[in-house]
């Protein structure tokens, strides 16, 4: 029975992680800063729980009781956390972006309780397993079944639950199963006293209560708006709300589109189309570009191809659009393709007069691939010789700060490295037009085309066009961006534009007080970790923990790098991404199973295995570094196979290292052993998560990050060897 419970705990942990991530994304926009914060906060608290549970156990013989109470606590905490997150939208200033400090503080605070319990459950599971079998194998056994649970949970969520079952319902189902599991544990140990029965009843009552008040909480989170509907698609949570006559769609809590919104859609469509003589075939890229279609049709193109990643957005808003937008969607000239835009461009055989990119400006690494030299080169192939590529990025009308200048220059110079000519229309949203031949945007030409095509607009009108075509402003900004030095071209494997955009975004929240607060926070962490022998940092003195910490760090870095690389090379295909996630977890399972076979080997053999595994992960990282750039020309199946193998290997090496380190460690107390190793693993991963997306990848690029991971691997191995020879095996 216990093996099934361990599997369930793995499944519970991974599903909880995924659904809370979705939920918090709505609050914090799901960008890289948040992803790193979320993962590190999750891993930090789970690690903390696994380490500290031993101290909280008053009576060692009550492990099963505590394990059962842990499940009952999770059953109460999980839906409560959901409601808390949804309600806390009101804690932050209405309509304001939430800065890094608030994101980090709130995420760490809100996740502490639940994650602590989940972490504690792992150590308790090890202790229970230790009572049943040999203590040495307990850790490996629990890790193995947990990994299996994670594989099942990950696959279940990716292919069945996401987009079909609302996350709150998933949370409630998990809570109910947790109550059953907790009850079963108490019952099997014949500890079903009145007190325990009362606990179970309270848990069930709480779940029922949460279920009842959930709709009210949903409405409260969109206070001041008229809430229309919310939907969880595979890629994001979509919310449709109304404020007066303006309907707005929020993607993961971030304003993505408003209807009507002439001031947003008219410039994006009309600038590129007025810059060309005969707009015949037009391509529009970007999920939220729906409002652009009717504007493009004003130029009478023959064909308008519209590429969106998935159909959720269109399905979600169609019924709420005005007649003009709906008519544009039904227009015979409009062809909608549900595909990754980059994949579409790569496979397209058509030739376009204009490509309009309406993709949000690089708020995350996933979108950086639409602003790279490689993608521009692909676009150049599908553009006619005098065709125009148009995109707009955030800028400033009157003055560019250093951060905005770097970001704008990065986009501009990268475009110029592929296209011969580029024209800039300055503004809050800077329009960039580029082509392989000269672009005619002289005011007289633009105004003549505007007149001849009989365009009727409310925002982009002749006086607006004249004002925006002011020679001085255009010349000033063009010179400024062209002359900005020190800009690295944005490429698939060196995502610099994303880095510049992150700087610009964070500049909005920069303040000396923030720096002070951050320093104080770091100071507290340092104190907490290294204040004495009983501190969590004590694990640093155990060589196995150092090794597992290193594996945690490298494996998450490697996992993220492989996933980003796959997206760049093969495009974003949802089911493939899910499969890659699952492959890593399968690797963990297989690795821990294989590692478990060495249980009865000698200490020296375990030591040797750990060295071999450490070398192997460095070799894998180096191989991936040199292999990945050459995968572009392989078939999609071959690419998929290679990535699957890499991820299984990465997971496998980490899983095996964890289990073998468990055999190698001298600690006799299973709780202590499990806590130390598990927390080391998770804290390593936490550090890797927060550093990879926010520092390592932007700083070194994807390929450089592989090198970084390899060097970190060698460094970790050296420390492990030094500690081993210093203190003996």
Partner 1 sequence: MKRAGAYLFLLLNIVLCLGVVGLVALQPPPHTVTSLFPVDNQRIRPAEWGTWGCLGVQCQLCPFRCFLPEGARGICRVRMNVGSKLKTLVYAQPVSVHIDPIEKKPVYHMLPGSKILSIATVGCNLRCAFCQNWEISQSYPERSTIADGQILSPEEVVALAIKYNCDAIAYTYSEPIIFYEYVMDTAKLAKQKGLKNVLVSAGYINPEPLRELAPYFDVIKIDLKGFNNQFYRKVVGGQLRYVLETLKELKRQNVLTEIVNLVVPGLNDDMDEIKQMCEWIYNNLGPDTPLFFSRFTPQYKLSNLPVTPLETLERAREIALQAKLRYVYIGNVAGHTGESTYCPRCKRVLVRRYGYAILENNIQKGRCRFCGEKIPGLWE
Place of tokens 């493939």: 576
Instruction: Read off the DSSP letter of residue 533.
Output: T
Identify which range of 121-129, 187-195, 469-477, 492-500 contacts partner 1 by CB under 8 A. Answer: 469-477
Specify the DSSP element, H or E, that contains 229: strand 226-232
Nearer to partner 1, 25 or 73 (CB): 25
- Note whether 573 and 707 are within 8 A (CB): no
Identify which range of 334-342, 345-353, 457-465, 706-714 contacts partner 1 by CB under 8 A. Answer: 457-465
- Note whether 221 and 302 are within 8 A (CB): no
Number of residues that bind partner 1 (CB under 8 A): 56
Neighbouring C-alpha atoms within 13 Å toward the C-beta of 712: 28
CB of 476 to partner 1, least distance (A): 9
Q: Contact with partner 1 (CB under 8 A): which of 61, 452, 458, 485?
A: 458
Query: Cα-flanking dihedrals φ and ψ of residue 703, to 5°?
Result: -70, -40
First-to-last CA distance in the chain? Answer: 36
Identify which range of 111-119, 169-177, 299-307, 468-476 contacts partner 1 by CB under 8 A. Answer: 468-476
Q: Which of residues 404-443 bind partner 1 (CB under 8 A)?
A: 404-405, 428
Cross-strand partners of 494: 491
Nearer to partner 1, 4 or 527 (CB): 527
Nearer to partner 1, 65 or 478 (CB): 478
Identify which range of 150-158, 366-374, 512-520, 615-623 contacts partner 1 by CB under 8 A. Answer: 512-520
311 binds partner 1 (CB under 8 A): no
Specify the DSSP element, H or E, that contains 385: strand 383-394
Q: Contact with partner 1 (CB under 8 A): which of 136, 461, 540, 721?
A: 461
- Note whether 235 and 30 are within 8 A (CB): no
Identify which range of 127-135, 155-163, 522-530, 613-621 contacts partner 1 by CB under 8 A. Answer: 522-530
216 binds partner 1 (CB under 8 A): no
Identify which range of 152-160, 207-215, 510-518, 692-700 contacts partner 1 by CB under 8 A. Answer: 510-518
Q: Contact with partner 1 (CB under 8 A): which of 21, 211, 459, 529?
A: 459
Q: Contact with partner 1 (CB under 8 A): which of 399, 534, 633, 637?
A: 399
517 binds partner 1 (CB under 8 A): yes
Instruction: Read off the DSSP letter of residue 29.
Output: T
Q: Contact with partner 1 (CB under 8 A): which of 227, 521, 538, 695?
A: 521
Cross-strand partners of 304: 282, 334
Pairing of β 334-338 and β 352-357: unpaired
**Integer Rg of the chain from CA:** 28
Q: Count other Cβ atoms within 10 Å, centred on residue 315.
A: 12
Place of tokens 């609302």: 166
CB of 115 to partner 1, least distance (A): 22
Nearer to partner 1, 521 or 538 (CB): 521
322 binds partner 1 (CB under 8 A): no
Q: Token digits for 119?
A: 């972490």
Query: Cα-flanking dihedrals φ and ψ of residue 286, to 5°?
Result: 130, 130
- Note whether 417 and 489 are within 8 A (CB): yes
Q: Which of residues 236-265 bind partner 1 (CB under 8 A)?
A: 243-246, 248, 250, 253-255, 258, 261, 263
471 binds partner 1 (CB under 8 A): no
- Note whether 552 and 680 are within 8 A (CB): yes
Nearer to partner 1, 335 or 451 (CB): 451
Nearer to partner 1, 29 or 553 (CB): 29
Length reported for the chain: 729
97 binds partner 1 (CB under 8 A): yes
Nearest to 728 by CA among 640, 641, 643, 666: 666
Cross-strand partners of 241: 227, 248
Nearer to partner 1, 452 or 456 (CB): 456
Nearer to partner 1, 164 or 401 (CB): 401
Reduced to 3 states, what is the DSSP secondary structure of residue 703?
Answer: helix
Q: Token digits for 501?
A: 């955009």
Nearer to partner 1, 184 or 298 (CB): 298
Contact residues for partner 1, defined by CB under 8 A: 93-97, 99, 224-225, 243-246, 248, 250, 253-255, 258, 261, 263, 396-402, 404-405, 428, 458-459, 461-464, 466-467, 470, 472-473, 508-509, 512-513, 515-517, 520-521, 523-524, 527-528, 531-532
């Amino acid at each position: 029975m216990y093996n099934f419970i361990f599997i369930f705990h793995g499944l519970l942990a991974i599903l909880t992680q995924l659904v809370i991530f979705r939920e918090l994304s709505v609050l914090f926009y799901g960008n890289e800063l948040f992803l790193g914060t979320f993962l590190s906060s999750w891993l930090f608290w789970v690690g903390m729980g696994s380490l500290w549970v031993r101290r909280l156990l008053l009576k060692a013989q009550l492990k099963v009781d505590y394990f059962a109470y842990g499940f009952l606590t999770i059953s109460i905490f999980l839906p409560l956390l959901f409601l808390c997150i949804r309600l806390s939208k009101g804690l932050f200033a209405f309509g304001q972006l939430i800065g890094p400090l608030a994101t980090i503080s709130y995420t760490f605070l809100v996740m502490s309780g639940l994650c602590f319990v989940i972490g504690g459950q792992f150590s308790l599971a090890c202790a229970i397993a230790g009572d049943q079998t040999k203590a040495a194998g307990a850790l490996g056994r629990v890790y193995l079944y947990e990994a299996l649970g994670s594989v099942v949970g990950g696959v279940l969520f990716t292919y069945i639950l996401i987009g079909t079952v609302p996350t709150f319902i998933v949370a409630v189902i998990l809570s109910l199963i947790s109550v059953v599991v907790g009850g079963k544990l108490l019952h099997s140990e014949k500890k079903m006293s009145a007190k325990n029965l009362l606990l179970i009843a309270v848990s069930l009552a709480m779940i029922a209560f949460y279920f009842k008040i959930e709709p009210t909480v949903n409405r409260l989170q969109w206070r001041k708006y008229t809430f229309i509907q919310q939907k969880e698609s595979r890629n994001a949570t979509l919310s449709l709300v109304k404020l007066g006559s303006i309907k707005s769609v929020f993607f993961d809590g971030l304003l993505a589109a408003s209807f009507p919104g002439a001031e947003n859609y008219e410039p994006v469509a009309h600038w590129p189309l007025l810059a060309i003589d005969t707009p015949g075939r037009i391509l529009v890229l970007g999920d939220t570009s729906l409002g652009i279609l009717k504007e493009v049709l004003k130029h009478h193109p023959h064909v308008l191809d519209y590429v969106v990643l998935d159909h959720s957005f269109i399905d979600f808003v169609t019924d709420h659009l005005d007649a003009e937008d709906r008519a544009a969607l039904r227009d015979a000239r409009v062809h909608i393709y549900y595909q990754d835009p980059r994949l579409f461009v790569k496979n397209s055989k058509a030739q376009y007069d204009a490509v309009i990119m309406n993709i949000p400006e690089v708020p995350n690494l996933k979108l950086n691939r639409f602003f790279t030299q490689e993608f521009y080169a692909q676009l150049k192939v599908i553009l006619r010789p005098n065709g125009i590529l148009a995109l707009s990025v955030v800028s400033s009308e009157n003055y560019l700060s250093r951060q905005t200048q770097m970001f704008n220059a990065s986009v501009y110079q990268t475009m110029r490295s592929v296209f011969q000519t580029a024209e800039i229309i300055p503004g809050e949203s800077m329009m960039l037009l580029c082509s392989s031949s000269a672009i005619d945007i002289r005011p007289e030409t633009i105004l003549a085309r505007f007149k001849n095509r009989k365009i009727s607009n409310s925002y982009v009108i002749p006086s607006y066009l004249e004002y925006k075509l002011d020679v001085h402003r255009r010349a000033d900004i063009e010179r400024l961006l062209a002359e900005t030095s020190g800009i690295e071209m944005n490429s698939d494997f060196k995502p610099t534009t994303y880095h510049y955009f992150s700087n610009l975004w964070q500049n909005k929240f920069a303040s000396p007080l923030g720096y002070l607060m951050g320093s104080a926070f770091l100071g507290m962490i340092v104190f907490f970790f290294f204040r004495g022998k009983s501190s969590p940092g004590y694990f640093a003195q155990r060589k196995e923990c150092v090794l597992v910490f290193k594996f945690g760090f490298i494996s998450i870095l490697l996992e993220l790098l492989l996933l980003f690389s796959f997206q760049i090379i093969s495009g974003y295909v949802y089911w493939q991404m899910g499969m890659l996630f699952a492959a890593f977890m399968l690797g963990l399972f297989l690795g821990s199973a294989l590692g478990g076979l060495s249980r009865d080997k000698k200490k020296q053999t375990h030591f040797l295995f750990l060295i071999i595994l450490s070398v192997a992960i460095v070799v894998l990282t180096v191989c991936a570094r040199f292999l990945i750039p050459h995968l572009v020309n392989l078939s999609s199946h071959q690419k998929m196979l290679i990535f699957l193998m890499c991820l299984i290997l990465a997971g496998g090496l980490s899983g095996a290292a964890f289990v073998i380190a468990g055999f190698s460690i001298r600690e006799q107390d299973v709780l202590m052993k499990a806590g130390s190793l598990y927390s080391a693993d998770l804290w390593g991963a936490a550090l890797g998560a927060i550093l990879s997306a926010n520092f390592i990848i932007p700083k070194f690029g994807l390929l450089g990050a592989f090198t970084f991971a390899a060097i970190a691997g060698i460094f970790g191995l050296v420390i492990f060897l030094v500690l081993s020879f210093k203190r003996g095996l």
